[in-house]
Chain A
Amino acid sequence: MPRHHEIEAAFARALLSEVAEPPPGVTSHSSPHPVRRFGVYRNNVAASLIRVLEGRYRVVERLVGEEFFRATARIFIEQHPPRSPALVDYGGAFAEFLSSFAPAAPTPYLVDVARLEWLEHVAYHAADAVPIGRDALGAIAPDHVAATRLRLHPSLGLIRSDYPVFSIWRTNVEDEEVMPVSLGTGEAVMIVRPRFDVEVRKLPAGTHAFLAALEDGQTLAEAATAAMADHAAFNLASALAGVIGVGAVVGYH
């Protein structure tokens, strides 16, 4: 008699196999070879996980079309099934998968759009924290400002792309008719959820380097230096006002 583990292993293999065949030992009252009945399980597994990915990668799906997306998602699911019932964590490897998925090669910006959408998803579920107000930094003594370190919101995500990833994302999310986007210039993006709604903002030049340095635990002076190395005209005061204004800063020390 086959043991529990072997029965389960055969069942799991048949669920994910390309061939729609029930595993040995699985039967029904009406037919000893219940392809359709077993097919209910096969369909549940694939369709439910494809739905999860569709919910997380709406812009990617709009860019490539539903049919292409679902076929791609199915291959991703076979190669990277979820490792936990907490599906909130599922799908983060999709951008990396797309970067080496040959059929997606003609649209190389897809990878960064997928990264952006994943960071939106992560931000939506991130830990709560209360942003500081625009005037909070005024409480710091002027000679301490340079050595101050900012605590950024736990939901904060940053992307720097060789493609206009924000413009592509924005027109697909906000415009009824997708506007043409020139692929000439790269864009940097900040994703943050100050309270309940996720904000996606295009970053001015230098600000990505500034935020990345702050995220790394550097002081305001060090982060400003990094930002100016990236973009000589970086303006610390307006960058600070911007990131505090959107709610990306939750404290300082």
Chain B
Amino acid sequence: MVEHPRVAATIPARAGVGFKPEHAVDILSGDAAGVAWFEVHPENYCGAGGRPHDTLEKIRARFPISLHGVGLSIGGAGDLDRHHLQRLKALVSRYEPGLFSEHLAWSSHEGAYLNDLLPLPYTKETLARVVDHIDEVQETVGRRMLLENPSTYVRFESSEMDEIDFIAEIVRRSGCGLLLDVNNVFVSASNHAFAPEDYIDRFPVEHVGEIHLAGHAESVDEVGAPLLVDAHDRPVIARVWDLYVRAIRRAGAVPTLIEWDNDIPEWPVLAAEAARAEALIAARRTNHAASP
């Protein structure tokens, strides 16, 4: 294996994008178009060798990266998959990501992996379970993780707590940080008929280490009520950009990622989305410096 000299691991408070192998040639030929960092799903790098790792090594040599897990099932009732946790530990040690995150969701049940981010009821019991899982992740991997707020389509009659109270209590007990997905806020707000602005205003932003932005698909349920799906297959909509500005007004300039995982566009289209986030971060810095 070729050893590449690497840039530092720290993710700057700038715009990044989810890395797609389709864009490797554009990015590595020097046309990163101002994109400052990249994020990957560690689950896509669980093979032993070959082109995926070779490409990621080249990306990592030039850019800081973030590992964003989708498969740990932190919100699951069962034990964490220890073998997968060891794989994540090995990937963290190999690629030295600047940030490491996972979801408030479950994806495995009794050994079967369902390949989706599934919702959980918010109860004292599930809270304790999630905190135990995060403790185990942070101890095993040896670093603090960020937990992402979910986008959800249904709710549970058994839920006893509000999502933000639930998340805030997880942070208090586990010491983890947060990844605020602004598109998820908008999707969930539409699906459960609450005001996304209230969610942004109440979110414990002092623990936010990263923000996600993405596009979503619009549909309706059987009674004609909005049903938004977190599809990551199109540009970020104007209302989500507005919510983002509202979020960074509170949270300050934080690393911000554009996620685009399906119907992947040409590199310049994705880079332009990142440039838009970059401009808003820069404006936030300027405004902050100008305010008394």
Q: How many A-B residue pairs have CB under 8 A?
A: 163
Residues of B within 8 A of A89 (CB): 46
A65 within 8 A of B: no
Q: Kindly provide the distance from the CB of A12 to the nearest chain B CB, expressed in whole angstroms.
A: 4
Q: A27-B156, A40-B229 are in contact. Are A84 and B48 (CB under 8 A)?
A: no
Instruction: Report Cα–Cα, A155/B219, bound state, in Å.
Output: 45
Interface centre among A1, A9, A30, A87 (most CB of B within 10 A): A30
Q: How far is the CB of B186 from chain A (nearest CB, A)?
A: 16
B66 at the interface (CB under 8 A from A): no
A178 close to B (CB within 8 Å)? no
A8 to chain B, nearest CB (A): 5
Task: Decide: A37 near B50, CB < 8 A? Known: A12-B112, A30-B225.
Answer: no
Do B223 and A81 have beta carbons less than 8 Å apart? no
Contact present for B193 and A29 (CB under 8 Å): yes
B68-76, B136-144, B246-254: which lies at the interface = B68-76
Q: Could you give, for residues 14-33 of chain A, a 1 whenever the CB lies within 8 Å of some chain B CB and a 0 otherwise?
A: 01000000100111111100
Contact in complex: B121, A4 (CB < 8 Å): yes
A84 to B84, Cβ gap below 8 A?
yes
Query: What's the Cα separation between A1 and B157 when bound, in Å?
Result: 10
- B54 and A196 within 8 A (CB): yes
Q: Is A124 a contact of B158 with CB atoms below 8 Å?
A: no
**Given A4-B120, A5-B77, A7-B121: A126 touches B49 (CB 8 Å cut-off):** yes
Do A8 and B120 form a contact, CB below 8 Å, given A30-B193, A35-B222, A84-B83? yes
Q: How many residues of A contact B (CB 8 A)?
A: 49
Segment touching A, from B93-101, B103-111, B173-181, B196-204: B103-111
User: Given the known A-B contacts A82-B112, A126-B48, A128-B50, are A30 and B156 also in contact in the complex, defined by CB atoms under 8 Å?
Assistant: no
A:73-91 near B, CB below 8 Å:
81-89
- Say how far B82's CB is from chain A's closest CB, in angstroms: 11
Q: With A28-B191, A48-B115 in contact, do A125 and B71 touch (Cβ < 8 Å)?
A: no
Chain B neighbourhood of A35, CB < 8 A: 222
Q: Quote the shortest CB–CB distance from B173 to chain A (angstroms).
A: 17
Query: Which listed residue (A4, A41, A45, A85) contacts B70, Cβ 8 A?
Result: A85
List, in ascending order, chain B residues with CB within 8 A of A7's CB.
77, 120-121, 156, 158
Q: Does B23 contact A (CB under 8 A)?
A: no
Q: Give the number of chain B interface residues (Cβ < 8 Å).
A: 57
Which single member of A9, A31, A45, A196 contacts B116 (CB below 8 Å)?
Answer: A45
Contacts of A27 in B (CB 8 A): 154-157
State the CA gap A52–B113 with chains docked (Å).
Answer: 13
Closest to B49 in A: A128
Complex CA–CA separation, A41 to B52 (angstroms):
29
Q: Once the chains are docked, how many angstroms separate the CA of A36 from the CA of B73?
A: 24
**CB interface residues, B 242-272, toward A, < 8 Å:** none
Min Cβ gap B100→A in Å is 15
Indicate if the CB atoms of A82 and B113 lie closer than 8 Å: yes
- How would residues 97 to 124 of chain A score, 1 for a CB under 8 Å from any chain B CB and 0 otherwise? 0000000000000000000000000001
Contact residue among B50, B112, B192 (Cβ-Cβ distance under 8 Å from A83):
B112
Residue of A4, A12, A26 with most partner-chain B CB within 10 A: A4
Contact A28 to B120, CB < 8 A, known contacts A8-B76, A84-B84: no
Q: Which residues of B lie under 8 Å from residue A15 when comparing CB positions?
A: 114, 118
Closest Cβ–Cβ distance, residue B256 to chain A (whole Å): 25
A16→B53 CA distance, assembly (Å): 33
A127–B221 contact, CB under 8 A? no
Cβ–Cβ contact B154 & A37, under 8 A = yes
Taking CB atoms, residues of chain A closer than 8 Å to B43 are 85-87
Of chain B, the residue at the smallest CB distance from A1 is B158
Closest CB of chain A to B143's CB: distance in Å? 20
- Knowing A4-B120, A85-B84, the reply to whether A37 touches B47 (Cβ < 8 A) is no
Distance of A125 from chain B, by nearest CB (Å): 3
Give every chain A residue within 8 A of B123 (Cβ-Cβ).
1, 4
CB-defined contacts of B53 to chain A, threshold 8 Å: 128
0 or 1 for each of A36-79: is its CB under 8 Å from B? (1 = yes): 11101100110011001000000000000000000000000000
B155→A8 contact, CB < 8 A? no
Note all chain B residues with C-beta closer than 8 A to A3: 77, 125
Instruction: Give B166 Cβ to nearest chain A Cβ, in Å.
Output: 13
> What residues of chain B have their CB less than 8 Å away from a CB belonging to chain A?
1, 43, 46-54, 70-73, 76-78, 81, 83-84, 87, 106-116, 118, 120-121, 123, 125-126, 129, 153-158, 191-193, 219-223, 225, 227, 229
| Known contacts A4-B120, A81-B113, A125-B48, then 12 further A-B pairs from the complex at CB < 8 Å, ordered by chain A residue | A7-B158, A8-B78, A25-B121, A28-B192, A30-B193, A41-B153, A48-B115, A82-B113, A85-B113, A86-B71, A89-B46, A125-B50
Sample of 18 A–B contacts (CB below 8 Å)? A3-B125, A5-B77, A8-B77, A12-B114, A27-B154, A27-B156, A28-B191, A35-B222, A36-B219, A36-B220, A36-B221, A48-B115, A83-B111, A85-B81, A86-B87, A125-B50, A128-B50, A128-B53
